[in-house]
Amino acid sequence: MKQQSLKIILGAILTSLLIVFTSCQQVPSSDTVTIRSANSEWMKESFQTEIVNIGLEKLGYQVEKPKQISYPAIYISVANGDLEYSTVYYDPLHNEYFNNAGGKEKLEIVGNLTPNGIQGYEIDKKTAEKYNITNIEQLKDPKNAQLFDSDGDGKANLVGCNPGWFCELIIEHQLDAYELQDTVEHDQGQYEIFLADTITRYQQGKPILYYALNPHWIFTVLKQDQDVVWLEVPFTSLPQSMGSLNDEDTSVDGKNLGFPRSEQRIVANKQFLEANPVAKKWFELVQISAADMNAESLLIKGGEDKPEDILRHAQEWVKNNQQLYDNWLETARKEAS
């Protein structure tokens, strides 16, 4: 009886110790954590996402195939924990999406994935020099505006942004601020298709006017100061949601382009980052140059735009930057210690 009682007591002690031990265990290690991401239909973002995800897998995370959804939906999904992160935070263009989804309480901006983006309005150099057009405000003159009329309605056709990118709202705001609505028409739709038409017009010797964002393949096809030039704006005017930016914030090399430099960064779920310091450090380290993004964008334009193509491009980029990539991985792993 005493031996049986001893067994019962020892069994109870072992059970209690097991319960205590289990309750003191840390959160699951990264090899049991699944990471879900998304980007827009803009395929260059898929390239960035794949580069980030390759590293996450090497760090031991399980990575799901990225989704393609709209920007507002991405921010809401990350905030709600339906996604862990996305590469699509364009700073400061996406401030409104960030704030509307819950802001700093639910989201965190990490790293600087592709820095020093430049954006603004460009025209062909030949027309700029022939008519001495240096500022978009000069398109208030119907004679200047008609130079860029591609549909015969007497207005300049400005190739703008896809609806939902937010830059289309900036363009509309500025057309009002610079009193251009009567002479300039903002063409919205599929940006890539419009740009293809723009290049055709340029090759035919016709004037062109378009919104440009670097990095993008357009900068490898139409060379700055050789084929095209930036137009200045008369003064800085931006939607209120972007904050109080001034002429200095929107100037590049002494020219006021009307748009701030755009840094593409990672937006992530705040709770996920707190629980996964290794992933956070990885997000902070990864960086892809504008030149590399332009090269990728040109490959996509050339027809290498299928998911398997994008993944191959990302793998090749990692191989070409192997030493730097491995250093980032080593630094991120140290966060686990």
Report yes or no on 80 lying in a domain: yes
pLDDT at 4 over 50: no
pTM: 0.79
pLDDT in tens, 61-89: 999 999 999 999 999 999 999 999 999 99
- Strand partners of residue 86: 38, 267
pLDDT at 34 over 70: yes
| Mean per-residue pLDDT of the chain | 89
Instruction: Give me the amino acid identity at 336.
Output: A
Label the pairing between strands 156-159 and 184-187. parallel
Distance CA 230, CA 255 (A): 8
Q: Note if the bond before 92 is cis, omega within 30 degrees.
A: yes
Domain edge (last residue) among 194, 224, 256: 256
Nearest to 171 by CA among 210, 202, 198, 145: 210
Q: Is 288 found in the same domain as 185?
A: no
- Strand partners of residue 282: none
**What pLDDT sits at residue 24?**
31
CATH number of the domain within which 45 lies: 3.40.190.10
**pLDDT tier at 41 (50, 70, 90 boundaries)?**
confident
**What pLDDT sits at residue 80?**
97
Q: Report the share of the chain in percent with pLDDT over 90.
A: 79
pLDDT in tens, 186-245: 999 889 899 999 999 999 999 999 999 999 999 999 999 999 999 999 999 999 888 888
Domain edge (last residue) among 236, 256, 276: 256
- Strand partners of residue 119: 213
**pLDDT tier at 1 (50, 70, 90 boundaries)?**
very low
Report yes or no on 213 lying in a domain: yes
Q: Which domain holds residue 150?
A: 117-256
CA dihedral 113, 273, 245, 141 (to 10 degrees): 50
Q: Are 150 and 161 in contact (CB under 8 A)?
A: no
**What pLDDT sits at residue 242?**
85
Q: Is 225 found in the same domain as 194?
A: yes
Average pLDDT over every residue of 123-151: 98
Q: Is 240 found in the same domain as 303?
A: no
Distance CA 311, CA 43 (A): 11
Q: Is 223 found in the same domain as 133?
A: yes
Q: Is 89 found in the same domain as 79?
A: yes
**What pLDDT sits at residue 43?**
87
Other beta carbons less than 10 A from residue 11's beta carbon:
10
Q: State how many domains the chain has.
A: 2
pLDDT at 3 over 50: no
pLDDT at 104 over 80: yes
